[in-house]
Amino acid sequence: MSPSRTNGSTTDELVETIPEATVARLPVYLRGLVELADGGVATVSSVELADLAGVNAANVRKDLSYLHAHGTRGVGYEVDHLIGEISFVLGGGEPSPVVIVGIGNLGRALSRYDGFVAGGFPVAGLVDADPAVVGKRIGGRTVRPVEDLPAVVAESGCTVGIIATPASAAQDAADHLVAAGIPSILNFAPSVVQVPDQVDLRQVDLATELQILGYHQHRRVAGGASVRAVG
């Protein structure tokens, strides 16, 4: 599900490795834990955390064991400590500023999305290839030309790029981000883009998500009969 992975060199396995499926759940645990902490809760059991995250309790325990985040038998896990461990694993506590490429409807919405700032991903740059968009101000930031990407990255220290262009411009956007030295890219455009192995790329595809829902819905309504009628 994560399209490109860093290709493991021979010495790689010395670094403690966490399964991809576990990494994908850690942010969900973190959210639940922060809520608990805000509510003044000091310890949490794997069953409670599993409930909050919507997963199996054994799964939670195994996931946390990869972090070496030990709990206390008969008691549970210390909420604050867990928050620290997970935050550290997910980026070392440092905020990672992001630059958004493509300031259309979606790009504008993303640039104002509070969840990014709260999660430690402040929007630090906006760029677009369209001269009609360049120069506009969105939420206190000026849209700059995509050619300025290296400068924007240098000034703001962005380490994450978000592609919010139409599909036809996505590969171009990715090329620009890679050329500017961005190591992590989140692609919202509905298109497969190619990046070098050392760049980490994730895809968020809204239409695809709806189509997956469509499959289940079709199955439920149509059942087996009409499916067979086609083959």
Partner DNA sequence: GTATGTGAATAGATTCACAGCT
Partner DNA sequence: AGCTGTGAATCTATTCACATAC
- Tell me which residues in 126-155 interact with a second copy (CB under 8 A): none
- Shortest gap between Cβ of 27 and a second copy (angstroms)? 4
Told to check if 65 binds a second copy by CB under 8 A, we report no
Alpha-carbon distance of 184 to 158, in angstroms, equals 10
Kindly write down the DSSP assignment for every residue of 32-83, as one continuous string. HHHHHHHTT--EE-HHHHHHHHTS-HHHHHHHHHHTT---BTTTBEEHHHHH
- Shortest gap between Cβ of 75 and a second copy (angstroms)? 20
- Shortest gap between Cβ of 111 and DNA (angstroms)? 32
- Shortest gap between Cβ of 43 and DNA (angstroms)? 8
- Shortest gap between Cβ of 49 and a second copy (angstroms)? 11
Question: How would you class 135 by CB atoms within 10 Å of its CB: exposed for 0-12, middle for 13-18, buried for 19 or more?
Answer: exposed
Looking at residue 36, its amino acid is L
Question: For a second copy, which residue of 39, 40, 74, 92 counts as binding (CB under 8 A)?
Answer: 92
**Region of 71-79, 145-153, 173-181, 222-230 interacting with a second copy (CB under 8 A):** 222-230
Told to check if 77 binds a second copy by CB under 8 A, we report no
Tokens 């000026």 label which residue? 142
Told to check if 33 binds a second copy by CB under 8 A, we report no
170: its two tokens: 């996505």
Told to check if 96 binds a second copy by CB under 8 A, we report yes
The vertex-91 CA angle with 137 and 199, nearest 5°, equals 75
- Residue 156 near residue 99, CB atoms below 8 Å: yes
Give me the residues that bind DNA (CB under 7 A), please. 19-22, 44-47, 55-59, 61-62, 64-65, 70-77
Which does residue 62 touch among a second copy, DNA, none (CB within 5 to 8 A, set by kind)? DNA
